[in-house]
A and B are shown apart, each in its own frame.
Chain A
Amino acid sequence: MDFNPSTEDDKREMLDRIGVDSLEDLFSDIPEELKVETDLIGEEGRTELELKDEVHGIAQDNEKPGDRLTLVGAGLYDHFIPSIVSHVTGRSEFYSAYTPYQAEISQGTLTWMFEFQTEISELTGMEIANASMYDGGSSAAEAVLMAQEYLDRDKIIVSETLNPRYRDVIETYLPLEEKQVIELGSRNGRIDKNELKSILENEGSIAGLVVQSPNYFGVVEDLAGLKEELGDAFLIVSTNPVSLGVLEPPGSFGADIVVGEGQPLGNPISFGGPLLGLFATKKEYLRYLPGRVSGKTIDREGNEGFVMALQTREQHIKRERATSNICTNQALNALAATVYLASLGPSGFRSLAKTNWDRAHYLAGELEKISGVDLVWDQPFFNEFAVEVAADADRVWEAMKEEGIDLLHPKELRQLGVDDGFLLAVTEKVKKEEMDDFVDLMRGEVN
């Protein structure tokens, strides 16, 4: 395929106008010895038909998603996406635009950004939200950097119930000194508040605590009293936004920053990306906020419109003194979330959360009836939970895979102290019969 529209005659005319003989002459300023002489990839181009045949063929090497039941979550969740979402994001006025630097012809993007910021503020119970970060992990890392910068302190407490991948990203973003991250342990699936107390008493220069609710095990953390304990150190809460249809938002517990993975809001899992980092905070920290925000203003006639606000925080102006290096973010994924939330509305959103709660609790209840399968924690959970099995979990995992059921590999929980266990995520897409079949298979495997 070729996407250059000019004819050979056009090109000839253009070369004449420039005053060179050939395309190659246009590269005469590059020393010859720097140029490559061989082909790059050793392949010829393809027509659209050939291309589709070939690339669709690669897709055939995957199992067909609809043929399998997946109970894998661990931060990404397979929710139903109403058709309206892709019909909006599929409009090329949205997807083929750049960042809205020219506000007057970008009111579409800037308006939905403003809507998104409002929706995310509302979900999280926070005053303001930005227009997106890369993903849940990098949002958490940026929150840590912001807390350190605002308070000019270097240590950060990270709960061991935080998604371990997020913790990895935080540690990658904090390369300076190894002692910066202090791990907060847990008891019965929730953070250990006594241990927090003693860390705060014994360590100085604490910039904040990163805690996740529902946490990596699916357990709803009790956030009450944490901010009081932390004092001016930041309470940074990572959350699954869908859970906020039934859970009191982190803002109500005094969170300073709320982050999370926004993929569950109208975006496919897509093998791990593109994702959608959520970032919400308090107004008082506005000048420290990373990323883009849309703000309301007026034109010369007094008409309302939107612009990218507070650009002086950003890298293209502040360079090395910017609040973050982020530039391109996840705009189209944020648009999907905006439309998704607007389509659900408050009652649909609550109903979605309740349906998730219901399906996960049904499955947990049925599994618990099997002797040899137990919930790991006796704690409230949302749409994900951990079970321990009286069997070789690796063997069970293998057997389930053969039966067309995908589970998170038991090694994930083993690293966190559960020897033979599964972390099971259930969304509204999972049917009752599928769960019943899974329970029957599990019964067979354990007994």
Chain B
Amino acid sequence: METIYDKSEAGKQGTAYPEDRFSEDEPGEELDSDLFRNEDPELPEVSQPELIRHYTKLSKKNYGVDDGLYPLGSCTMKHNPKPMEDIAAKERFSGHHPLASADVVQGNLKLAYQLGEYLKDIGGMDGITLQPAAGAHGELTGMLMIRKYHAENDGLDQRNKILLPDSSHGTNPASAAVAGFDAVEIESNEEGTVDLDQLRQAVGEDTAGIMLTVPNTLGIFEKDITEVAEIVHEAGGLCYFDGANLNAFLGRVRPGDIGMDITHFNLHKTFSTPHGGGGPGAGPVGVKDRLVPYLPVPTVEKNDERYEFDYDRPESIGKVNSFPGPFGVMVKAYSYIKALGDQGLRDVSGNAVLNANYLKEKLKEDYRVAYEGLCKHEFVLSGSDLGEDVKTVDVAKRLLDYGYHPPTVYFPLIVKEALMVEPTETESKESLDEFVEAMKEIAREAEEDPDLLHQAPSDTPVGRLDETQAAREPVLRWEEE
């Protein structure tokens, strides 16, 4: 794979800077000699025409949701509406510094404030922070608030355990650990939901809280959630709701109404902002009243008709981001909420769940479904009873040859050879039908010609890549050969 460094040729340049000088001062003379950089960093030397061709070529070796169905479970890869991109790019939004006077940026502050109000309404929460830069960052923020809450109330030494179902997202235990908690896994029952008896056994005076993902990773709604909340609250713990799967019940259920104390929102999932190949995201966190004092500083407030940052928050956990959060992402999510309105937001979950159940019904003719009942926005298949030696990874790689991004594979861990499928509401029936055809073909190939799957992919820029070698002898930067 050719990198921009391989294109580099001494003396070429894409962008030059003015050479006029107004000052007498030269860095080479003013700095102590050991502080002045004598040797240039090795950056590529490439002209603009060559640059754009290189990156255009690279882009063609990528697959985005604009290329086709992207049924990556748990990731909500829905259409990224183009108007939102254009709106957020407006210099009148993006050209401002967060430390400018509030008088200069009333529009930005107003938008951030109103987005916060929308999210509070959508989540049934009383307070909000827009600072976290991603879902996991939101989880960490929530965990730190739980810490602070117990430190100020019961004393922290005692409450040091966060309970998590074993089906939770990997970021959940990691976020609890970064916040200094012991992550304690509790086993799920057959439906992947929380076993109430086990939960009653697990809670105690050391319980700081629970982290729940609803619908759970099998795509099943946690029907006993109010009981779960009661058990945890009675033990003195708090309930954290991982909002990554909000697309399943947007406009229908609000975490704040069903006993949850904290939830984060993934603006880059539910609210359609692009995933960017791995970011930027945004993970605002909503909280109930008793946690409002601990929200990160600053928050955005409205006083009379004026909007401003509120830095005067003495009980706050502090800052989780150097600046007030990923504003560019907020503009897109705000615009999306406004474009859809109440009915549109409700239709998001309706159509997402419709697409998922339709797809599940059709795919179960050829694949084993991990759970038979109604699913929500996603469902899990198992690749465990396909042809001889055929593994889920083979199905995934064969899908690449059919021009699809595969589902999430080998997650959740509680299903053998899992394929987790989330079509989202922005796929048409035709698109789903075509995907089913590809999956049927692959199931047939698995029986008749499994080698096709083992050898896949064959129609991609590179063949199946050796991840073990990349770990054994890591090559993480370009070197001249």
Scan A65-77; emit 1 where CB is below 8 A from any B CB, else 0.
1101010101110
**Of B135-143, B202-210, B233-241, B439-447, the one with at least 4 CB within 8 A of chain A:** B135-143
Listed A/B pairs (10) with beta-carbon separation below 8 Å = A17-B362, A93-B67, A96-B67, A115-B478, A165-B322, A169-B321, A175-B179, A321-B177, A325-B139, A412-B99
A13 to B226, CA, bound (A): 35
Does A312 interact with chain B (Cβ within 8 Å)? yes
Partner of B13, one of A2, A311, A345, A354: A345
B residues 1-39 near A (Cβ < 8 Å) are: 1-5, 12-19, 21-25, 27-28, 30-32, 34-38
Does A224 interact with chain B (Cβ within 8 Å)? yes
A365 to B317, CA, bound (A): 42
User: Is the pair A54, B37 in contact by a Cβ cutoff of 8 Å?
Assistant: no
Partner of A93, one of B63, B92, B335: B63
Of the candidates A93, A273, A304, the one having the most CB atoms from chain B within 10 angstroms of its own CB is A273
Does A339 interact with chain B (Cβ within 8 Å)? yes
Does B290 interact with chain A (Cβ within 8 Å)? no
Residues of B within 8 A of A327 (CB): 134-136, 170-171
User: Is the pair B400, A55 in contact by a Cβ cutoff of 8 Å?
Assistant: no
A residues 1-59 near B (Cβ < 8 Å) are: 1-6, 10-11, 13-15, 17-20, 23, 26-31, 34-36, 39-46, 48, 51-52, 54-56, 58-59
Residues of B within 8 A of A305 (CB): 1, 461-462, 465
Of the candidates A29, A93, A268, the one having the most CB atoms from chain B within 10 angstroms of its own CB is A93
Of the candidates A18, A66, A328, the one having the most CB atoms from chain B within 10 angstroms of its own CB is A328
Partner of A96, one of B22, B56, B171, B275: B275
Scan B70-100; emit 1 where CB is below 8 A from any A CB, else 0.
1010010111110101110111111111111
User: Is the pair A300, B464 in contact by a Cβ cutoff of 8 Å?
Assistant: yes
User: Is the pair B321, A273 in contact by a Cβ cutoff of 8 Å?
Assistant: yes
Of the candidates B23, B175, B334, the one having the most CB atoms from chain A within 10 angstroms of its own CB is B23
Does B450 interact with chain A (Cβ within 8 Å)? no
Does A292 interact with chain B (Cβ within 8 Å)? yes
User: Is the pair A246, B36 in contact by a Cβ cutoff of 8 Å?
Assistant: yes
User: Is the pair B94, A247 in contact by a Cβ cutoff of 8 Å?
Assistant: no
User: Is the pair A75, B322 in contact by a Cβ cutoff of 8 Å?
Assistant: yes
Which chain B residue has the least Cβ–Cβ distance from A309?
B470
User: Is the pair A95, B343 in contact by a Cβ cutoff of 8 Å?
Assistant: no
User: Is the pair B66, A275 in contact by a Cβ cutoff of 8 Å?
Assistant: no
Number of A-B contacts (CB under 8 A): 683
A125 to B477, CA, bound (A): 13
A312 to B470, CA, bound (A): 12
User: Is the pair B320, A320 in contact by a Cβ cutoff of 8 Å?
Assistant: no
Residues A332 and B279 in contact in the complex (CB < 8 Å), given A271-B93, A315-B171, A345-B45: yes
User: Is the pair A273, B55 in contact by a Cβ cutoff of 8 Å?
Assistant: no
Scan B395-437; emit 1 where CB is below 8 A from any A CB, else 0.
0110010000110000100000000000001111101000000
Does A358 interact with chain B (Cβ within 8 Å)? yes
Known contacts A76-B99, A335-B276; 19 further A-B pairs (Cβ under 8 A): A4-B426, A29-B223, A36-B252, A45-B342, A94-B277, A106-B63, A134-B133, A135-B323, A172-B317, A269-B95, A286-B476, A309-B474, A325-B178, A343-B48, A344-B13, A344-B17, A346-B41, A347-B40, A348-B17
Does A84 interact with chain B (Cβ within 8 Å)? yes
Does A192 interact with chain B (Cβ within 8 Å)? no
User: Is the pair B108, A271 in contact by a Cβ cutoff of 8 Å?
Assistant: yes
Does B110 interact with chain A (Cβ within 8 Å)? yes
Which 8 pairs from chain A and chain B are nearest by CB? A65-B95, A272-B323, A45-B341, A108-B62, A274-B280, A272-B98, A61-B107, A96-B64
What's the least CB distance linking B221 to chain A, in Å?
5
User: Is the pair A10, B134 in contact by a Cβ cutoff of 8 Å?
Assistant: no
Residues of A within 8 A of B79 (CB): 3
What's the least CB distance linking A46 to chain B, in Å?
5
B residues 310-347 near A (Cβ < 8 Å) are: 317-329, 331, 334-335, 337-347
Which chain A residue has the least Cβ–Cβ distance from B223?
A31
A92 to B60, CA, bound (A): 10
User: Is the pair B107, A60 in contact by a Cβ cutoff of 8 Å?
Assistant: yes
What's the least CB distance linking B468 to chain A, in Å?
8
A330 to B328, CA, bound (A): 12
Does A432 interact with chain B (Cβ within 8 Å)? yes
User: Is the pair A26, B22 in contact by a Cβ cutoff of 8 Å?
Assistant: no
Residues A275 and B51 in contact in the complex (CB < 8 Å), given A61-B107, A332-B274: no
Which chain B residue has the least Cβ–Cβ distance from A74?
B99
Residues of B within 8 A of A353 (CB): 27
A125 to B61, CA, bound (A): 30
What's the least CB distance linking A417 to chain B, in Å?
19
Does A87 interact with chain B (Cβ within 8 Å)? yes
Which chain A residue has the least Cβ–Cβ distance from B403?
A105
Does B286 interact with chain A (Cβ within 8 Å)? no
User: Is the pair B427, A5 in contact by a Cβ cutoff of 8 Å?
Assistant: yes
A residues 88-111 near B (Cβ < 8 Å) are: 88, 90-111
Does A122 interact with chain B (Cβ within 8 Å)? yes
User: Is the pair B133, A273 in contact by a Cβ cutoff of 8 Å?
Assistant: yes
Residues of B within 8 A of A349 (CB): 40-41, 43
A189 to B97, CA, bound (A): 25
What's the least CB distance linking B243 to chain A, in Å?
14
Does B106 interact with chain A (Cβ within 8 Å)? yes
Which chain B residue has the least Cβ–Cβ distance from A360?
B23
Residues of A within 8 A of B159 (CB): none
A298 to B78, CA, bound (A): 32
Residues of B within 8 A of A36 (CB): 124, 251-254, 257
Does A157 interact with chain B (Cβ within 8 Å)? no
A346 to B9, CA, bound (A): 11
A330 to B390, CA, bound (A): 36
Partner of A56, one of B87, B180, B337: B87
Does A194 interact with chain B (Cβ within 8 Å)? no
Which chain B residue has the least Cβ–Cβ distance from A23?
B350
Residues of A within 8 A of B111 (CB): 55, 58
Residues of B within 8 A of A29 (CB): 220-221, 223, 373-374
Does B103 interact with chain A (Cβ within 8 Å)? yes
A residues 284-298 near B (Cβ < 8 Å) are: 286, 292-298
Does A78 interact with chain B (Cβ within 8 Å)? yes
Which chain A residue has the least Cβ–Cβ distance from B55?
A88
What's the least CB distance linking A267 to chain B, in Å?
9
What's the least CB distance linking B133 to chain A, in Å?
4
User: Is the pair B321, A134 in contact by a Cβ cutoff of 8 Å?
Assistant: yes
User: Is the pair B226, A34 in contact by a Cβ cutoff of 8 Å?
Assistant: yes
User: Is the pair A94, B93 in contact by a Cβ cutoff of 8 Å?
Assistant: no
User: Is the pair B396, A102 in contact by a Cβ cutoff of 8 Å?
Assistant: yes
Does B372 interact with chain A (Cβ within 8 Å)? no
Does A396 interact with chain B (Cβ within 8 Å)? no
What's the least CB distance linking B254 to chain A, in Å?
5
User: Is the pair B92, A118 in contact by a Cβ cutoff of 8 Å?
Assistant: no
**Of A195-203, A204-212, A227-235, A401-409, the one with at least 4 CB within 8 A of chain B:** A401-409
User: Is the pair A322, B174 in contact by a Cβ cutoff of 8 Å?
Assistant: yes
Residues of B within 8 A of A328 (CB): 133-136, 268, 275, 278-281
